[in-house]
Amino acid sequence: MHVDSNSKVSFDNSAVDSTHHAEVRAREFSSLDIPGKPSANQPSKASKLLEPDAQLKQLTTGFFNISGAAVDAAGTLYFVDAHWQRIYRWSEEIQEAVVVRDAPLEPENLAFDKAGDLLVVSRSGNGQIYAFKPEAPEDQLTMLEPQPAQEHPEMSAFIPASVWNMRDFPLTRPWQYVAPDLSTVITAGDDFVHGQLQWGTKMADVLRSFGLVHAVPGHPST
């Protein structure tokens, strides 16, 4: 099973067992066993992501597709619906997704610096990344300019998580975008900075990835 699409989220699930209400979200696998209802002496395999006996719960729906999630220092979740060009945050108090920004700046992925600035990787223009305080008015944002990559031991770096397109992850990332508080950088390749197209669309890894993660030496970005 392999999905090759210019859309990051072409469907919700790759396989659905309507009899037992089972869903498979993985978009690439070589084999799939569906045993039906597990018997008492054949318990289902424990999840590597959930605590024992934990259950998944759908909080809300109605989006076109969402990705690019990031969490602020208080643990509040922010995410993007790229199709509608909206940035949301999840409100635990009212149990709803609240629109933070609804402007045509084509957000794709998010990250936070230590001062609470939300960094937004945008599909618009050539290599656009901007930053703003989530509580600030919509006309207040800072465009970040690409800078030649340098070593900054005092800063944390963000790279794409689970690069899933058909190109290899670049061995070198010659550009960086420095956060307003100088605590964080987002690294990028030439393709993003110069707006390079493949098959008529932008394929840079910082756009195609489902999210950004902190770069940790010796650890994969998955």
Backbone φ and ψ for 16, nearest 5 degrees, come out as -135, 125
- The neighbour count for residue 208, using CB atoms within 10 Å, is 21
Residues 159 and 81 in one domain: yes
Burial (CB < 10 A; 0-12, 13-18, 19+), residue 170, is middle
Question: Distance between CA atoms of 53 and 126, rounded to whole angstroms?
Answer: 46
Per-residue pLDDT of 77-98, as tens digits, reads: 999 999 899 999 999 999 999 9
Confidence of residue 221 (pLDDT cuts 50, 70, 90): low
Residue 199 predicted with pLDDT over 80: no
Residues 116 and 209 in one domain: yes
Residue 166's pLDDT band (cuts 50, 70, 90)? very low
Does residue 220 lie within any of the structural domains? no
pLDDT above 80 (res 11): no
Structural domain boundaries, residue 28: 1-54
Answer yes or no: do 81 and 172 share one domain. Answer: yes
* Region label for 195, one of left (φ > 0), alpha (ψ between -120 and 50) or beta (otherwise): left
Please report which confidence band the pLDDT of residue 44 belongs to, taking 50, 70 and 90 as the band edges.
low
What pLDDT band is residue 163 in, cutting at 50, 70 and 90? Answer: low
Mark whether 42 and 101 lie in a shared domain.
Answer: no
Q: Is the pLDDT of residue 4 over 90?
A: no
Residue-level pLDDT at 22: 77
- What is the pTM for the complete model shown? 0.81
Q: Tell me, yes or no, whether 30 lies in a domain.
A: yes
Better-scored residue on pLDDT, 105 or 121 = 121
